[in-house]
Amino acid sequence: MASAHCDPAGAEAAAPVALKILVTGGFGVGKTTFTGAVSEIRALRTEAAMTEAGRPHDDLVGVEAKATTTVAMDFGRITLGGSTVLYLFGTPGQDRFRFLWDELAAGALGAVVIADTRRLADSFPALDDLERRGLPFAVAVNRFDGARAYPVGSVRTALDLDDHVPVVPCDARRRESARDVLVTLVDHVLRTGTALRGTAPWDEGRAAGLRTPR
């Protein structure tokens, strides 16, 4: 058995290709459950501290203007074949957490938007943001006990989604179900092509230049 330092490929093999997928949606929609179901590690929680003055939602009267807000993010990891690691980041979809998105969306492969048919409007901020950024996404309609099962088509209509956006039913508690949603997303990313992925809104000119010439 060769020791690590005798293996010339060891150092290079130590750094896998790391990919990032966002898991987003409204409050309490099952982001943490989804991430935990498919992650090989217990869904970890980390905190992104933000220091910013005068954020409209943190109206802290009597507190000095420069307040630090800490937001917890859940994340999970899936190792695929040893050389590729997929990280899932559960990201709040509410407007007030939009500042987190700049960092999370940069270089992300795509996003899963989890929707609850009882509160579809909660998905709108996340959908708006993803569309604006040109980040590919799939919508997973989480099945909640007691919720009426709506056909996928009516959810698509209610969310005003383009025909090419995948909408799939999902049980965020089940590993296979969460995995199938991820397969759907990555397949969608593959189909929509690599050129436009992760393009920031201000990059539209550049992205247009990358389109296949007619």
Partner 1 sequence: MSEAWFDDAAGPVVRPYAMTRGRTRSDARLRLDLISQVVAEDGALRDAESAEAAGRPETARLGPEHLAILRGCASTSRSVAELAADLDLPVGVVRVLIGDLVDAALVRVTRPVPPADLPDEGILREVIDGLRAL
Q: Which stretch binds partner 1 (CB under 8 A): 11-19, 27-35, 112-120, 141-149?
A: 11-19
Distance CA 28, CA 92 (A): 9
CA separation (Å) from 33 to 75, 76, 128, 174, 196?
Answer: 11, 11, 23, 9, 30
The answer to whether 142 touches 30, Cβ cutoff 8 Å, is yes
> Taking contact as CB under 8 A, which single stretch among the options 23-31, 41-49, 148-156, 160-168 is the one that binds partner 1?
41-49
Stretch that binds partner 1, among 45-53, 54-62, 145-153, 164-172 (CB under 8 A): 45-53
CB of 31 to partner 1, least distance (A): 15
Task: Note every long-range contact of 173-176, with CB atoms under 8 Å and residues 24 or more positions apart, other chains counting.
Answer: 173/30, 173/33, 173/37, 174/37, 175/37, 175/38
DSSP 201: G
64 touching partner 1, by CB under 8 A:
no
Which of 86, 159 has the CB closer to partner 1? 86
Q: Which of residues 116-175 bind partner 1 (CB under 8 A)?
A: 175
**What is the Cα–Cα distance from 192 to 194, expressed in whole angstroms?**
7
Which spans of this chain sit near partner 1 (rule: CB under 8 A)?
5, 11, 14-20, 38, 44-49, 51, 70, 73, 75, 77-78, 80-81, 84-87, 89, 103-104, 106-107, 109, 175, 179, 182-183, 186-187, 189-190, 194, 197-200
